[in-house]
Amino acid sequence: MKLKNKIVLITGASAGIGEAAARYFAKEGASLILAARRYDKLLQLASSLEDEYSVKVLPILLDVSDKQKVSEAISALDEYWQKVDILVNNAGMGVTSDLMQNASIDDWDKIIDINVKGLLYVTKAVLNSMIKRNSGHIINIGSVAAHDYYMGGNVYSASKHAVKAISRSLRIDVKGYDIRVSQIDPGMVKTEFSERRWDKQKAEKFYEGVVALQAEDIADAILYCATRPKHVTISDMKVYPSAQVAPTIVHREGDKQVSLFD
């Protein structure tokens, strides 16, 4: 699949994986709709991509958890931008890792509103046009937390399990259409994610002694999924840093190899 002039909508494009994906798609000549809440960051990114790659970029201020705004923003796109070829549902947050007994219900609401409902709202807003055109690709960013559980992961993990269920169900529901659905599940990626989940200090500690993935590693995986020939769907892809040997097991520099049975 060539990406030149394809229309790619990326949510959560103001930072991290979404921003890196925007750069990778721009390099391939795609036209980009970049969505997030920090509009100033999108404007900066748009102008840098337009200068560097001479591509069309449309930044849109969008809170994916606002059902009405999502529907209005997508309906307000002009005819050219309405025809989204690839949707990258990337917007997402960890918000907290408090244990269930200590957690705030407001934090749970935020996680579910953004990671699950937001992803559904944006998908719904572009899906009918894809169905009408019998063409499209939806790439959802999940997490290795979609496959496992860890202390304090509770509702975040549940939200990513839901993303997995949505990706798999959608793939079944669009059977017979030329619409592909992929899910990429990253392990530890060094972005603003952890800083926003906790704070700078805790985030630094989290990444200490580990060569984590960079946002570009996941952008590369997204591009790989998007550029397979039409008859090939990468339905699921887990991407770990080599030091993360399972969702909850990380080898840090200086760690001794100790077996449970030693």
Ligand X SMILES: NC(=O)c1ccc[n+]([C@@H]2O[C@H](COP(=O)([O-])OP(=O)(O)OC[C@H]3O[C@@H](n4cnc5c(N)ncnc54)[C@H](OP(=O)(O)O)[C@@H]3O)[C@@H](O)[C@H]2O)c1
179 with 220: CB under 8 angstroms? no
> Is residue 33 near ligand X by the rule CB under 6 A?
no
For the chain, give the number of residues. Answer: 262
- 90-110 burial string, b = 16+ CB within 10 Å, else e? bbbbbbbbeeeeebeeebbeb
For β-strands 236-239 and 179-186, DSSP reports them as: parallel
CB of 132 to ligand X, least distance (A): 26
> Is residue 114 near ligand X by the rule CB under 6 A?
yes
Closer residue to ligand X, CB minimum distance, 110 or 228: 110
CB of 17 to ligand X, least distance (A): 4
Q: Which one of the listed residues 39, 121, 150, 156 is annotated catalytic?
A: 156
Is position 177 annotated as part of the catalytic site?
no
Please identify, among the stretches 5-13, 47-55, 175-183, 247-255, the one whose residues bind ligand X according to the rule CB under 6 A.
5-13
- Share of the chain residues as helix, strand and coil, in percent rounded to the nearest 5: 45, 20, 35
Identified binder of ligand X from the candidate list 32, 33, 141, 250, rule CB under 6 A: 141
Residue 80, amino acid: Y
Task: In whole angstroms, give the CA distance from residue 126 to residue 82.
Answer: 8
Q: Which of residues 35-64 bind ligand X (CB under 6 A)?
A: 36-38, 62-64
CB of 90 to ligand X, least distance (A): 5
H/E element holding 140?
strand 136-141
Per-residue CA distances from 244 to 97, 118, 241, 247 (Å): 19, 29, 5, 7
Closer residue to ligand X, CB minimum distance, 14 or 31: 14
Q: Which spans of this chain sit near ligand X (rule: CB under 6 A)?
A: 11-18, 36-38, 62-65, 90-93, 114, 118, 141, 143, 186, 188-189, 191-193, 196, 215
Report the catalytic residues: 156
